[in-house]
Amino acid sequence: MTKPLPRRILFVDDEPAMTQLGKVVLERAGHSCSLATNGDEALRMLLEVPPDLVILDYMMPGMSGPEVFRHLRNDPPYAAIRDIPVLMLTAKSDNDTERRDLLESGLAAYLSKPFGHRELLNIIENTLITWEVQKQARQTLENTRGAYLGAIQVTLEAIAQNPYLKENTGLLQNCALALAHEYRMDPQETETLRLAAMLHDIGKVKLSDELINFSGRLDSVQVAEIRNHVEYGVAILQKIPQLQDVAALVACHHERIDGTGYPKGLTAEEIPLGARILAVIDAFEAMTSGRPYRSAMTKEEAIDHLRLESGTHFDADVVEYFIESLERSFSQG
């Protein structure tokens, strides 16, 4: 599972005696070791030849070890290597609260000075093994997620064989991501909204072909059955434990701000923000994509319609944020 020696290690400490000693110990153990004497030099070397592990002294003149660590974790130039495991060398006098914060932000471990050769080599080996295990766990999670999203996509494509049910899921997802950004949603909320945008009408798979393809005027029984697609969709999604948040949004995507929506007749903020967003982007997608029974509106006509129903059908703030994000994407071509 672990990579064979030698590992490339970057040792950063302002005390030459410490780095020289570290280099001898590490190289004798089969690793290759680069040295930096300050934070700026370390950050430059990290980009030049990314190491497998970094050892950072906590207290250094100029940029401290924690500052170097935060640059590595947060700054865009280091995005591809921000997960490199980092060990920090500390003295007893260092700040305990900051030490805890650093561990919470992903620092691999501390090693208190003074330490023995064996102690240094053991902590390096343990850190690298743990890092490999975590990397494989992340990869497994990513593969699993990819598999279930693939299954969802296949299901949606099967549904889209019927031109009455066909939706532009790419447009819906892009609109969802744009509004998640406007509302500064965190990654989890953003993903929930994106999946809800993909899946909000999945309950239509339970409607009969006869009803889906019906081209005349619907009677009240047929309207009620079509409206049932919300509850059918929620029932499907609730079977998947990871999609409970998505189901909660899908449950409310036909609610209206003025309380005249369905299935519950919720009003205003009784409707979750994500569902208020879904209502707007679903309407926009439906208006701008043609269906067998009507032609597509232009974007401008669809925007006029959203504004007309802003505050009654749709959340007025969501409508304005949505129009702003659309106009930005128009102006960017």
- Binding positions for Fe ion, rule: CB under 5 A: 201
Q: How far is the CB of 244 from Fe ion (least distance, A)?
A: 19
Q: How far is the CB of 254 from Fe ion (least distance, A)?
A: 6
Cβ-based nearer residue to Fe ion, 87 or 234: 234
Query: Are the beta carbons of 270 and 216 closer than 8 angstroms?
Result: no
Q: How far is the CB of 269 from Fe ion (least distance, A)?
A: 21
Angle between helices 316-331 and 169-182 (to 10 degrees): 110
Cβ-based nearer residue to Fe ion, 201 or 255: 201
Number of residues assigned to the chain: 333
Q: How far is the CB of 295 from Fe ion (least distance, A)?
A: 21
Q: What is the DSSP string of 102-168?
A: HHHTT--EEEESS--HHHHHHHHHHHHHHHHHHHHHHHHHHHHHHHHHHHHHHHHHHHTTSTTT---
Cβ-based nearer residue to Fe ion, 135 or 291: 291
3-state DSSP helix/strand/coil % of the chain, to nearest 5: 60, 10, 30
Collapse the DSSP code of 28 into the 3-class scheme (helix H, G, I; strand E, B; otherwise coil) and give the result: helix
Cβ-based nearer residue to Fe ion, 32 or 222: 222
Q: How far is the CB of 200 from Fe ion (least distance, A)?
A: 6
Residue 315, φ and ψ in degrees, nearest 5: -65, 120
Q: How far is the CB of 179 from Fe ion (least distance, A)?
A: 18
Beta strands in the chain (DSSP E): 8-12, 32-36, 53-57, 86-90, 109-112
Q: How many Cα atoms are found within 13 Å in the side-chain-facing hemisphere of 196?
A: 35
Cβ-based nearer residue to Fe ion, 201 or 315: 201
Residue number with the smallest Cβ distance to Fe ion: 201
The residue type of 264 is K
Cβ-based nearer residue to Fe ion, 124 or 236: 236
Collapse the DSSP code of 32 into the 3-class scheme (helix H, G, I; strand E, B; otherwise coil) and give the result: strand
